[in-house]
Amino acid sequence: MFTDSHCHLTFPQLAEQLPAIRAAMQAAQVDRALCICTTMEEFAEVHALATGYDNFWCSVGVHPDNEGVTEPTVQDLLDRAALPRVVAIGETGLDYYGMEDRKGGRSVADLEWQRERFRTHIRAARACGKPLVIHTRSASDDTLRILREEGEDGSAASAGGVFHCFTETASVARAALDLGYYISFSGIITFRNAQDLRDVAAFVPMDRMLIETDSPYLAPVPYRGKTNSPAYVPEVARQIAAVRGMAVETVAEATGRNFECLFKGVVQP
């Protein structure tokens, strides 16, 4: 019934627990998951999950925060995007969070490599007709600007995609929707201090919404502080249902349908 549109099952916290994770998914009625790639080095392992299980699919891309890894060309991404069960490009985008601590005091100007990497992913997505999985953190203005500069305007020629693990403002959500993008909510929406995000979830159209875990991170209440798992994505759906005054089954059905609409080729297993 439920679909986890973004998880990292190859990360060490989860990779060795796959049988237990899949059993927990089944018990929680989580039927499908999109396994997200964050480096080219990781792709083979992520792709093996997608080809090894009939309810997993995957993406190809390099996370904006990853340094010291293989820098993909457009052709590198296209070659892998053409493989079976690869349904998206990403995750990609921009991450300016923690310039002083996490990025060694560098300035936004010093992160041009992130912006160029993002453009490479956009161009690959447009070339292969597969959607982008976008990560943006403390960088929404540049994220939206670069999408527009690369021709992402909601037209038929656009790659489209999803702003995953959305934590930005309502105005950013509106801008993303105007470009034809989906908005995906994670366990953060259940946190006590996330009322602004719940307000965003109240106005995003149901036909443009996805749910996710971003496992192994950001476990929702009541599992906060634990390792996250796709089995916990129903808690995200329950919070959205409460915010919007609808049945959780309605949220599950709508977000599952949106998953199929955005990521062409995914089906009910």
Looking at residue 108, its pLDDT comes to 86
**What digits encode the pLDDT tens for the residues 194-207?**
999 999 999 999 99
Long-range contacts of 259-263 (CB under 8 A, 24+ apart): 259/3, 259/5, 259/32, 259/34, 259/210, 262/131, 262/160, 262/161, 262/162, 262/182, 262/210, 263/5, 263/34, 263/57, 263/87, 263/88, 263/131
Residue 98 pLDDT level (bands cut at 50, 70, 90): confident
- Give the Cβ contact number of residue 98 at 10 Å: 12
Mean pLDDT of 30-52: 98
Is 67 a residue whose pLDDT tops 70?
yes
| 144, 173, 225, 2: CA torsion to nearest 10 | -110
Residue 100 pLDDT level (bands cut at 50, 70, 90): low
Residue 109 pLDDT level (bands cut at 50, 70, 90): confident
Range from 49-58, 103-112, 209-218, 244-253 carrying the lowest mean pLDDT: 103-112
Looking at residue 102, its pLDDT comes to 58
Range from 59-63, 97-101, 213-217 carrying the lowest mean pLDDT: 97-101
> For the chain, what is the domain count?
1
DSSP state of 227: P
Mean pLDDT of 16-30: 97
2, amino acid identity = F
**What digits encode the pLDDT tens for the residues 156-166?**
999 999 999 99
Looking at residue 106, its pLDDT comes to 77
Looking at residue 144, its pLDDT comes to 98
The model carries a pTM of 0.96
Looking at residue 137, its pLDDT comes to 96
Is 35 a residue whose pLDDT tops 80?
yes
Domain range spanning residue 69? 2-262
**What digits encode the pLDDT tens for the residues 216-259?**
999 999 999 999 999 999 999 999 999 999 999 999 999 999 99
Looking at residue 267, its pLDDT comes to 83
**What digits encode the pLDDT tens for the residues 83-94?**
999 999 999 999
Residue 20 lies in a domain: yes
Residue 242 and residue 73: Cα distance in Å, rounded?
43
Looking at residue 199, its pLDDT comes to 98
Residue 197 and residue 43: Cα distance in Å, rounded?
32
CATH number of the domain at 215, please.
3.20.20.140
Residue 104 pLDDT level (bands cut at 50, 70, 90): low
Residue 88 lies in a domain: yes
Residue 149 lies in a domain: yes
| Separate counts of helices (H) and strands (E) for the chain | 10, 8
Residue 209 lies in a domain: yes
